Each structure stands twice: as structure tokens, then as C-alpha cells.
Amino acid sequence: MTATQQPTAALPGGGAMPLLGFGTWQITGTACTDAVRAALDAGYRHLDTATMYRNEAEVGRALADSDVPREEVFVTTKLPPERASAARSTLEASLSALGVEQVDLWLVHWSTGGDDVALWREFVAARDAGLARDVGVSNFSLAQLDELAEATGVMPAVNQVRWAPSLFDADVLEGQRKRGVVLEGYSPFKSTDLDDPVLVEIAGAHGVTTAQVVLRWHLDHGVVVIPKSVTPERIAANADVLGFALTGIERGRVDGLARS
């Protein structure tokens, strides 16, 4: 997988967000640095971390130690709601830990349960100050997206939510698109039965694994996906999904797993 081959989503700030990213949740210490290096070596050009993951320094170290130029890697981090009163300083700490001057995407990790609009204004201000190229949210409903946009005039660029074939919701996907919001899915395998006969049959038809079918399904829908692993072989296999595509019928069958 090369950077030029990768499908991307255009963001308002002018960036191109690779649809296939590398997630780092629950990976810390040397294992995180090694996994991120393996991901970059495998061709990933999108890294996803968060303040609450406590691994931004390790992600940054792997990025600095790699031969991949910073401008070729899309970096996302997230703010936990309990840090809402110190959003700017938290982002500055993230930038320092990551060893970058700007993240490509900064997300509200989930709703504060209180004044999300006030926090969103802080995010927009940080974007305008050049600390983040684009800003978005995670785990927000369509109504919550509208609340932010109506109050500030700025719609989140991305909404990262849990997403998998069993969770497929055409209305949610279309609702994000109508708003110009890029849908990003996390935990693609946690909610998926990789032994499902439909996935097994489609995988056999393409000579790939069922995990690769799930990842390709995301890409064929234009949904960003961030699988994670600490095993170099699996990291490489997860990256190797650009050499095939699902037919419309196959994609529909995978969509149907949400109803089965």
C-alpha cells in the first residue's frame, strides 16, 4: 500500500483524510511505538490517538523515528470531556507529546453532557489559531451535530462512531453525508462475527480474509476505518485491502448483516 493508492476523504481545511487509518486504543509503551512503526512501514498514513489513550508520546516517537515525512501522515487526537475546561492547554500538551506543530484532526471524544457548544467554540478557535487543521467530534448523534452547527456556523468535519456491518444504518450514513460530515468508524471487528457465512463466502470469492472484507466494506461505503493490532503480520494484512473491491451485491449482503 502506497500513499498515492489510498482512498481519501476531503476535509474543509484542505486536508485529505486516508479512509484506512491505524488505531492505537489500549496500546501503550514500547508496544505502541513498535506497532505504529510497523503500521507506517506497512503503508498506513493515518494515525489515530487520544489524550485518554496515554500514548501520544509513543505515537510521536514512532512518527519521528520513521522515514515517512510528517506532511505525509494524517494525525488525529481527541479531547476527553473532563478536560473541557482546559481544552487549549490539553491540545498544546498533545502537540508537545506528539512532537508536531499541528494535528490534522482534533476531536471531542464524546459529549460533555453539558455545554457542548461552548467546548465546540474552543475547538473552532484552536482550528483558527492553526493548532488543528480540522476539528470534529466522536460519538455524537445527528441532532448533536446540528446543535453545534446552528450555534456556531461550523459543522464538525468528522464524526467518529462505532461502526461495523452489524451496526450499519443507512439513515445515519446518509445523514452524515447530507451535512458534509465524514463518518469514521472505530472497533470494526469487535461488533463483527468474522465467521459469519456471508463474510466467509465473500472472502473466498476474493481470496482474502473476512477481516479484510469488513475493512473493504467500510472503504467501499466511503467510511473511514481505524483497525488496530500489535502484530506486524496482522497490521500488514489489514493494510492490504486496496487490491480488491466488493460488488454492489456483495456490499448489500454485508449491509444486511445489520438485520440478520
Q: Please tell me the distance from the alpha carbon of residue 117 to that of residue 120, in angstroms, as a whole number.
A: 5
What does the block give as the cell for 185? 468508524
Other residues' Cβ atoms within 10 Å of the Cβ of residue 226: 26
Q: Is 53 a catalytic residue?
A: yes
Q: Please tell me the distance from the alpha carbon of residue 229 to that of residue 226, in angstroms, as a whole number.
A: 10
Label the pairing between strands 16-18 and 8-10.
Answer: antiparallel
**88-96 CB contacts, 8 Å cutoff, 24+ apart:** 88/122, 88/125, 88/126, 88/131, 90/51, 91/126, 91/131, 91/132, 92/131, 93/51, 94/51, 94/56, 95/131
Strand ranges, E, within the chain: 8-10, 16-18, 22-23, 46-48, 74-79, 103-108, 132-138, 158-162, 182-186, 224-225
Q: Please tell me the distance from the alpha carbon of residue 158 to that of residue 135, in angstroms, as a whole number.
A: 7
Which listed residue (44, 53, 74, 168) is catalytic? 53
Q: Please tell me the distance from the alpha carbon of residue 198 to that of residue 144, in angstroms, as a whole number.
A: 34
Residue 21 contacts residue 47 (beta carbons within 8 Å): yes
**Positions marked active-site:** 53
